Amino acid sequence: MTQAIVPTGAWSDFCEALDFGALVPDALAEYRPAVVDGLMFFLENLGEERADEILGEQLMLPAEAGVAERLVAIARHCPALHKLGQVLARDRRLPLQFRLLLQHLESMPSSLDAAQALALVEAELGPISAFGGSIDGPPLAEASVAVVVPFTAPREGGGEVVRGVFKLLKPGVEAKLEEELGILQRIGALLDERCEAYRLPPIAYEETFLQVRDLLAREVQLDHEQAHMTAARDDYAGLASVVVPEVYPWSTPRVTAMQRIDGVKVTEAPALSPGGRKRLAKRIVLTLVARPIWSRGASSLFHADPHAGNLFATTDDKLGILDWSLVGRLSKSDRVCLTQVLLGAFTVDGERIRHAIDEMAQGRGDAAALAALIEARVARLTEGAWPGMSWVMQLLDEAATRARCRFAADLVMFRKALQTLEGVVADVSPDCRPDHVLTVALLRELAAEWGRRSWALPFSRDFATHVSNLDLTQLWASSPLIGSRQLLGLRSHLREMRSSAR
């Protein structure tokens, strides 16, 4: 039961009337005290003016409003919580009703009208009529840190009129985010001090939260996003099925002028048949997961914030990828190691897996705990568990929590992006099996590079798959050692993949 009782403006009184712990899924029940205390610490350390604003709004909510509704209302005022809500909005471990509320945070209507939006744009750019621009209407949407305003303007040099959007930082958002990121760092230090009391694995929480702080700080660096978007547009230029917005010259560090992409969130494409939704889901997996992992470059760019509000099913049947403020890069070494863990899973080779994880963690971890963990996970493979990318990522999760392996920030970001995508893909098409899609993609890449392998050195991994000829030889030689139950499991999954690929 909840009540709207906050007459004193004190967070402690308000929070005592709510059961935040009810929102933590049973699968994560052991972490419930840490999550609740961390959220309480965050709220109690907001500035007095912001606290009064948020609590005042809480008083206006109906008395029967539940804890989930109240928390989402709070998140609308807090960029860091707003972003967290977007990330969790498709996490199927959370109760359905809570997820549906969080999904409102993916893309919200704005409270600004066209005149207010124009005033904000011109406060940054000056009169947009100077370059022939005009605002087309009220803002299209509002996100955690920005408002999206439609406009038209002639392309530089005259001629074609372009339809675009201004992505404009919300007033005061930088100060709000700076305050919240400082609180997050303090929460990390608090968890380090109390990890034993909370029964948490000792994984350097303050250092991890500092990485999160640095990543979230990029949300308001729109000039960085403009560079990311330009690089991504070049990277995806060869894919006719994908569109990344073009950046227009009327941009500043606080405003991004870019191409308008017409469409709807990928999870809201009602015109698509079940088969069309499955094809869209596969395209998401191939574009945002397979492509960054299996590419030849020294590093590969990936979208680090792929919630449903940033992925559009366009009106011309393309996948539109928006909001490139949060990106990461996977090094060649990291991609080699991820592939080696996958190969080790297919061949039930624990030593190959251990070596690859140790290299990714740069030796930072508990070697004995890692060896024991891998031994237990490999034992499940011999019982027929499917050794796909999901298996690899779950192993890395356990390596971080149980063996205290410390991975680079970009690897952590990639894992979080995959977790977000798992929920998005499931909501687009429950029939899509991401592991199967990725395995087929790897096999196709291997087939495409077969000709180049005839003159490659045995140890060379200068391939998109990051697999050397020696790796393939070892894979072939190891196949008789794979248990019969595992072989039966692989054959069954390969049959499923062949049928799902049709």
Q: If we measure between CA atoms, which residue out of 302, 326, 245, 421 comes closest to residue 83?
A: 326
Residues listed for the chain:
502
Q: Report the interhelical angle of 389-402 vs 367-381 (nearest 10°).
A: 150
CB–CB of 386/492 below 8 Å?
A: no
Q: If we measure between CA atoms, which residue out of 379, 377, 341, 378 comes closest to residue 359?
A: 341
Residue of higher predicted confidence among 500 and 319: 319
Q: Is the dihedral of CA 423, 424, 427, 430 positive or negative?
A: negative
Task: Classify residue 237 as exposed, middle or buried by CB count within 10 Å of its CB (0-12, 13-18, 19+).
Answer: exposed
Tokens of 407: 């991975």
Residue type (1 letter), 419:
Q
- Going from the C-alpha of 250 to that of each of 14, 137, 177, the distances in angstroms are 45, 18, 25
**Rounded average pLDDT over 459-487:** 77
User: What percentage of the chain has pLDDT greater than the value 70?
Assistant: 91
pLDDT tens figures, 140-149:
988 888 999 9
| Residue 70 confidence (pLDDT) above 90 | no
Tokens of 145: 């840190």
Query: What pLDDT, on a 0 to 100 scale, did the predictor assign at position 285?
Result: 97
Q: What gap in Å lies between CA 397 and CA 100, rounded to an integer?
A: 26
pLDDT tens figures, 120-133:
999 999 999 999 99
Q: What gap in Å lies between CA 490 and CA 211, rounded to an integer?
A: 38
Paired with 149 in beta bridges are 166
Residue whose structure tokens are 């404009």: 168
Query: What pLDDT, on a 0 to 100 scale, did the predictor assign at position 493?
Result: 54
Residue type (1 letter), 354:
R
Q: What gap in Å lies between CA 245 and CA 165, rounded to an integer?
A: 10
| Residue 477 confidence (pLDDT) above 50 | yes
DSSP string, 329-390: EEEHHHHHHHHHHHHHHHTT-HHHHHHHHHHHTTT-S-HHHHHHHHHHHHHHHTTT---SHH
**Rounded average pLDDT over 189-204:** 83
Query: What pLDDT, on a 0 to 100 scale, did the predictor assign at position 6?
Result: 38
Query: What pLDDT, on a 0 to 100 scale, did the predictor assign at position 24?
Result: 80
| Residue 2 confidence (pLDDT) above 50 | no
| Residue 306 confidence (pLDDT) above 90 | yes
Q: What gap in Å lies between CA 216 and CA 179, rounded to an integer?
A: 12
